[in-house]
Amino acid sequence: MADDVEAPKPKVIRDPLTKVGAIVGTFILIFLLTFLFGVASGFATAGVYAIAFGLTLVAIVVLSRFFRSTTEENAPRPMWRLTGRPVAGYVIAGIAVAQAFSIAVIPDGPPVEARIVAITFYAIVAVGYLQSSIRLTRRERDAAASEI
């Protein structure tokens, strides 16, 4: 009788509007938690940045487990995979690099400690998405080569 029981289907999000809603809701929650931490800590800038960016990294990892492209299966993603297609990861990595660069060169910005936290965050995001896209590109290339 135990063989008749179906394994639960993993929860996945494919609808673009639902993905946007999940992202917006997540970032509202991150903003509120960061704001509460800021109030409690007297707005220690580097600490507030660290909390915000730490929560954002967790959100990226968690949401990437649920989001799927239309071409992906429902099977759980490997932990290294952050996007459905390589191009998306390359674009996000490029945006993260540009953001880190802009924080590094802006003349009147947050204190140095906060800048270091922010640049570190964007570097981690860029590396994560870049490695994901490189692996996906390699996987697509290997699949195309095996079909020949």
Please give the pLDDT value at position 122.
96
Q: What is the mean pLDDT of residues 33-43?
A: 85
pLDDT digits (tens, 9 = 90+) for 65-77: 999 998 888 888 8
Alpha-carbon distance 64 to 81, whole Å?
8
Ranges assigned E (strand) in the chain: none
**Closest alpha carbon to 32 in 48, 46, 16:** 48
Q: What is the mean pLDDT of residues 31-55?
A: 86
Alpha-carbon distance 99 to 130, whole Å?
15
pTM: 0.83
Alpha-carbon distance 98 to 113, whole Å?
19
Q: What residue spans define the domains of the chain?
A: 2-147
Q: Give the distance, in angstroms, between the CA of residue 36 and the centroid of all CA atoms in the same chain.
A: 23
Judge whether 89 and 129 are in contact, CB under 8 Å.
Answer: yes
Among residues of the chain, what percentage have pLDDT more than 90? Answer: 63
pLDDT digits (tens, 9 = 90+) for 89-129: 999 999 999 999 999 998 887 888 888 999 999 999 999 99
Judge whether 89 and 132 are in contact, CB under 8 Å.
Answer: yes
Please give the pLDDT value at position 48.
86
Mean pLDDT of the chain: 89
Nearest 5°: phi and psi at 67? Answer: -75, 140
Alpha-carbon distance 44 to 144, whole Å?
52
| Exposure class string for 34-64: b at 16+ Cβ within 10 A, else e | beebbeeeeebbbbbbbbbbebbeebbeeeb
In the chain, the amino acid numbered 105 is: V
Instruction: Check whether 1 has a pLDDT greater than 70.
Output: no
